[in-house]
Amino acid sequence: MFTIQRAGERAFFDFGWLKTNHSFSFADYFDPENLNWGALRVFNDDTVLPGQGFGTHPHRDMEIVTYVLRGELEHRDSMGHHGVVAPGGVQYMSAGTGVRHSEFNHSQTGDVHFVQMWVLPR
């Protein structure tokens, strides 16, 4: 069954450096009735403070798409890729059998706001 979830109904967490909304179960948020929608496993709406971000961490068996709405997001991974994604830009990462990466707000003065989707590969 398909249920429309309004923005205000998503799980919200404020970690100080990160404000995040989860559309599905993610990290410490678990709702057994809301694990995914087909192959879409994660749809997070994140705002990260200047100079802050996610340190190097692993992923595997996941296709990850990030769309930057405001600010600039710096990405670096174990495959040697490094770049800064500007507003309206998309960053795609195929984790395959395993990859390590980090994501940080490239700015020291303004927030970065982005949505990130994780899709299970076929």
User: Which domains occur in the chain, in start order?
Assistant: 9-119 (2.60.120.10)
The residue ranking higher by pLDDT, 115 or 2, is: 115
Strand boundaries in 4-110, DSSP class E: 11-14, 18-22, 40-48, 53-59, 63-70, 73-77, 82-85, 90-94, 99-105
Rounded to whole angstroms, how far apart are CA atoms 106 and 100?
A: 19
> Is 1's pLDDT higher than 70?
no
Task: Give the chain's largest Cα–Cα span.
Answer: 44
- Residue 3's pLDDT band (cuts 50, 70, 90): confident
Q: What is the mean pLDDT of residues 20-42?
A: 94
Strand partners, 104: 53, 74
